[in-house]
Amino acid sequence: MFKVVANFLLIPVLVSFQALGNSTIHRCSVDNLNPEQARGRNRYVNACSPQTIVAAAQLFRRNTFAGTQADAWRVVSEVLEKDGGIMPKPRPHHFTPIIEGAPEAPVTWAAPTVGPSEVQFADAAFIADFCARSENAIPAGNVFNASYRCMSSCFAPEVRVFFKEGYVAIKDAVDANVIRQVVVLDKGSTISSPKYVLAGITNWVKSIRSEKQDYLTFRTEDGGNLKVTPNHPMIDGEGMLKEASKLKLGDSLVRANGQRIHITEIEPSKEFGKVYNLQTENKTAKGNIIVAEGFLTGSAYLQDSGSVYLDQQILRAELPDSILAR
């Protein structure tokens, strides 16, 4: 049994999944690309920084990769751009430039977002000419690093998330990198009857560098307070998964016990710093609903690969989950 401190709720944990090792991937506030640009950026890196692609393949295959550049590209594109290596991700991850030796330093170079097609990539002369063009040359000091690829949606650093160990501020959890499991909704949950399990954390997410961050702070009629980025996925009182920016005064958030609580204030702000989140081992909508400051909200997966669930009803009122499973 785990105690949700903010509401003095007891959450039964039904199943404990084997914890996975955590890595850290990054959120890019300035270098935030649409899907077409993201795929173009990755093709550009494949052409003009091939060593990055090989390093990424090694990273993704836990140092067991041994193949050609073409093999490395298949591995990388499947991880960053495709779900299960088949269908394109709605929001693919992409490489972003950093300063060698100082990844948090501001980057002034706008890396290309258009890269060669597969046919063009097969032509070595074309690639050599493409990468030698002034607009495509990588400035001295700028590099791409396999560990720095872009995610979306995050919490303010002080927001407390409910882990196996209890509530921990998300910044502290990410920086420590020792927590291995987070409490998530069980697949049989409804709004009236939420149930919880433990899920392994596969990745921590944090900003590459400190920047001006846009926030929305939600205050509720019971004194609750939650600060997130505008595109953060939230569960509203109807059980819908919505971006935070789409919620309005009078709407409700959902407490960990299923109680619907009205929003009384939404305060926009800009603050300098970093933002944080996590990814779980699950690939379902409910398996990525976590508890933050006592409210049901989403992991980073639901703003990236799992963004197909946005604007869908994730939690029903009383209908059996066997009929409405997702």
Mean pLDDT, residues 126-146 taken together: 94
Residue 36: pLDDT above 70? yes
pLDDT at 30: 76
Residue 326: pLDDT above 50? no
More confident residue, 323 or 199: 199
pLDDT at 212: 87
How far is the C-alpha of 52 from the C-alpha of 56, rounded, in Å? 6
Predicted confidence (pLDDT) per residue in 251-289, tens digit: 999 999 999 999 999 999 999 999 999 999 998 999 999
Mean pLDDT, residues 94-118 taken together: 91
pTM score, whole prediction: 0.76
Q: Residue 34 corresponds to which tokens in the numbers above?
A: 């649409």
Domain annotation for the chain: domains and CATH numbers? 2-25+152-309 (2.170.16.10), 33-147 (no CATH)
pLDDT at 91: 80
Highest-pLDDT range among 31-40, 134-143, 298-307: 134-143
Mean pLDDT, residues 60-76 taken together: 93
- CA-nearest of 270, 273, 233 to 254 is 233
Handedness of CA 307, 301, 87, 45 (dihedral sign): positive
Q: 153: pLDDT confidence band, cut at 50, 70 and 90?
A: low
pLDDT at 317: 67
Residue 20: pLDDT above 80? no
Contact between 198 and 16 under an 8 Å Cβ cutoff? The reply is yes
Handedness of CA 281, 287, 289, 294 (dihedral sign): negative
Residue 319: pLDDT above 60? no
Report the range of poorest mean pLDDT among 78-87, 111-120, 224-233.
78-87
Residue 323: pLDDT above 60? no
Q: 12: pLDDT confidence band, cut at 50, 70 and 90?
A: very low
How far is the C-alpha of 108 from the C-alpha of 97, rounded, in Å? 10
Report the range of poorest mean pLDDT among 59-73, 212-226, 295-309.
295-309
Mean pLDDT, residues 127-151 taken together: 90
Predicted confidence (pLDDT) per residue in 203-226, tens digit: 899 988 888 889 999 999 999 999
Residue 198: pLDDT above 50? yes
Predicted confidence (pLDDT) per residue in 228-237, tens digit: 999 899 999 9
Query: Which positions ≥6 away from 183 have C-beta within 8 Å?
Result: 2, 11, 13, 162, 163, 164, 196, 197, 198, 199, 290, 291
Percent of the chain predicted with pLDDT > 90: 63
Mean pLDDT, residues 278-304 taken together: 93
What count of other Cβ atoms lies within 10 Å of the Cβ of residue 37?
16
How far is the C-alpha of 296 from the C-alpha of 283, rounded, in Å? 17
- Please state, rounded to an integer, the average pLDDT across all residues of the chain: 87
More confident residue, 146 or 72: 72
Mean pLDDT, residues 291-303 taken together: 94
